[in-house]
Amino acid sequence: PAEVKSALLEKYPPKVGRKRAKQIMINEALQNETPELTANVRTIPGIITMRGCTYAGCKGVIMGPTRDIVNLVHGPIGCSFYAWLTRRNQTDAGPTGENYMNYCFSTDMQEQDIIFGGEKKLAQAIQEAYDLFHPKSIAVFATCPVGLIGDDIHTVSKNMKEKFGDCNVYAFSCEGYKGVSQSAGHHIANNQVFRHLVGQNDEVKPGKYKINLLGEYNIGGDGFEIDRIFKKCGITCISTFSGNSTYDQFASSHTADLNAVMCHRSINYVADMMETKYGIPWVKVNFIGAKATAKSLRKIAEYFGEKELIDTVEKVIAEEMPGVEAALAEITPRTENKTVMMFVGGSRAHHYKELFDELKMKTISAGYEFGHEDDYEGRQVLPNIKLDADSRNIEELEVEPDETRFKPRKSDKEMKALDKAGYKFKQYDGLAADMDKGTLIIDDLNQYEAEKLVELMKPDLFCAGIKEKYSIQKLGVPMKQLHSYDSGGPYAGFLGAVNFYQEIDRLVNSKVWGYMKAPWQKNPQLSGSFAWE
């Protein structure tokens, strides 16, 4: 790994090389107190990053999957168009059929709006959306030019909300440049969801064992499979943030008794704020991987501590696992010891390692586009993360216990008993702890390094997103998109795991890749010299 690391850095100018070196870690799988890897910092200009923008993280990721909020983008049309259904977040349209996800709402900002200001046009667009659909809620998202010209989207939204009376209108200052990546957009979205949505409806919903599932976005129908399992277990999911969700789910989420956090990166802020304000504790879960699914269900059951639930969960696991085991027995002889690299977002590189472990495949290198130090090395590093100007730029809400609605979900005695039994709240150990020693963990991988890494380590499979897809395939290596699932999925839960095993089997054992010649195979003399083929 040390040689691979230096080969990756070799061609950079010294200053760039020094910066990148801090973002490449040869894993020691330790639980350090101070982060070893640098993350969540600006991409060096000139480098072709895998990252997206803050607007993408706010509008596309967190708010996009909610069906009955009109998501209105204030900006040039391209920003809205690119975020239109590309993430493959699915919805079932619910009993009322109120679903705006298939629309692309935008103010279609023009040069004259940039010169004379776009507030009037925004107010008009909000009015038009209201007149056409009478939605419960309209969310406004700022793209880059809005911040640059200083349109006050919050005041416009507030005025429209007052004017309508029956429609909650609020805005997100999530200009693309606000942070160093999508991650800043998550934080901005979390803040506004907490401020304007959570706690709006105090009505107590029917059902037992009430949880919220945080950080699950129903990509490729993952959420449908998780819901199927919850139903079978008798667990009531009050709200999902935000896969297949509705406005009302957010509004009543504070009535749940546990927050189960799946994607830690995108939603940990809401989890912490809900704990402080309403007394709902949170635990980390993961429904990617059959074993991880079983473990997460047991974790939820243990929290409630009722025999009825614990027994049902065991029964469900016993019913679901034989199908998983039969698929693995058939497939693993063909996937065992194959190698894989994963560079995805801020949590999937870790979550999907579970599925590759089940296939007995080796994850030889992995990393996030925009994970923070705690996503790599565990939440114990949190106090020692150095805040820079970019992270300080994102608002931190000051939250206090709600005067009337704060209610501890467990007594001190119950909490002590759970603690004694080794039950961990608010814990996430990060990716590094699960990766083998000596593997390469790389933050914010770029186009150049991706190709170089493949050339040097020749994995059997490479996982990332659309921007990497074809350049990797041209190197003769199969590529699996772990964002959009290449139009596949679901991969979550038990049935999703089997679906994933079958697809990976087909990918890594297909003969077609053998007919492709990578540049270094065609011209071995050019190997390592990075030519102009």
| Residue 242, preceding peptide bond in cis (omega within 30° of 0) | yes
Residue 345 engages ligand HCA in binding (rule: CB under 6 A)? yes
Cα separation, 246 vs 482, in Å, equals 25
* Closer of 60 and 490 to ligand HCA (Cβ): 60
- Concerning whether 18 is annotated as a catalytic residue, the answer is no
Q: Which does 263 bind (CB under 5 to 8 A by kind): ligand CFM, ligand HCA, none?
A: ligand CFM
Does residue 186 have an active-site annotation?
yes
Strands 440-442 and 24-26: antiparallel
Contact code string over 136-175 relative to ligand HCA, x by CB under 6 A: ----------------------------------------
Taking the complex as a whole, the smallest distance from the CB of residue 42 to ligand HCA amounts, in Å, to 17
Active site residue 184: no
347 binds, among ligand CFM, ligand HCA, none (CB under 5 to 8 A by kind): ligand CFM
Among 226, 377, 483, 489, binds ligand CFM (CB under 6 A): 483
Q: Which does 91 bind (CB under 5 to 8 A by kind): ligand HCA, ligand CFM, none?
A: none
Residue among 53, 189, 237, 251 flagged as catalytic: 53
Give bridge partners of residue 237 from the DSSP assignment: 211
| Distance, CA of 135 to CA of 166 (rounded, Å) | 9
Binding mask 182-211 for ligand HCA (x = CB under 6 A): x-----------------------------
Among 346, 476, 493, 519, contact with ligand CFM (rule: CB under 6 A): 346
In the annotation, is 53 catalytic? yes
- At its nearest, how many Å lie between ligand HCA and the CB of residue 153? 21
| CA gap 211, 236 in Å, rounded | 6
Out of 265, 338, 452, 480, the residue judged to bind ligand CFM by CB under 6 A: 265
| Region binding ligand CFM by CB under 6 A among candidate stretches 168-176, 341-349, 384-392, 515-523 | 341-349
Question: Measured between alpha carbons, how far is residue 109 from residues 192, 237, 330 in Å?
Answer: 24, 39, 55
Q: Give Rg (Cα) of the chain.
A: 23
Q: In what order do the strands lie in the sheet with 362-367?
A: 24-26, 440-442, 362-367, 339-343, 461-464, 479-481
Given ligand HCA, ligand CFM, none, residue 234, with its beta carbon under 5 to 8 Å by kind, binds: none
Catalytic residue among 51, 67, 87, 350: 87
Q: What is the DSSP letter of 239?
A: E
| Dist. CA 293–CA 251, nearest whole Å | 27
CB 505 within 8 A of CB 529: no
- Name which of 52 and 75 has its Cβ closer to ligand CFM: 52
Given a contact cutoff of 8 angstroms between Cβ atoms, the answer to whether 52 and 85 are in contact is no
Strands 24-26 and 339-343, bridge-based pairing: unpaired
Q: Within a 10 A sphere around the Cβ of 132, how many other Cβ atoms?
A: 10
* 410 part of the interface to ligand HCA, by CB under 6 A: no
467 interacts with, out of ligand HCA, ligand CFM, none, CB within 5 to 8 A per kind: ligand HCA
Instruction: Please say whether the beta carbons of 17 and 104 come within 8 A.
Output: no
Catalytic site residue from 186, 196, 372, 483 = 186
| Cα gap 416→411, rounded to integer Å | 9
- 3-state SS, residue 235: coil
Q: Which of 219, 273, 283, 313: binder of ligand CFM (CB under 6 A)?
A: 219
Q: Do 239 and 250 contact (CB within 8 A), yes or no?
A: yes
Footprint of ligand HCA (CB under 6 A):
52, 56, 60, 86-87, 182, 345, 465-467, 481, 483-484
Footprint of ligand CFM (CB under 6 A):
57, 61, 87, 182, 215, 217, 219, 263, 265-266, 344-348, 483
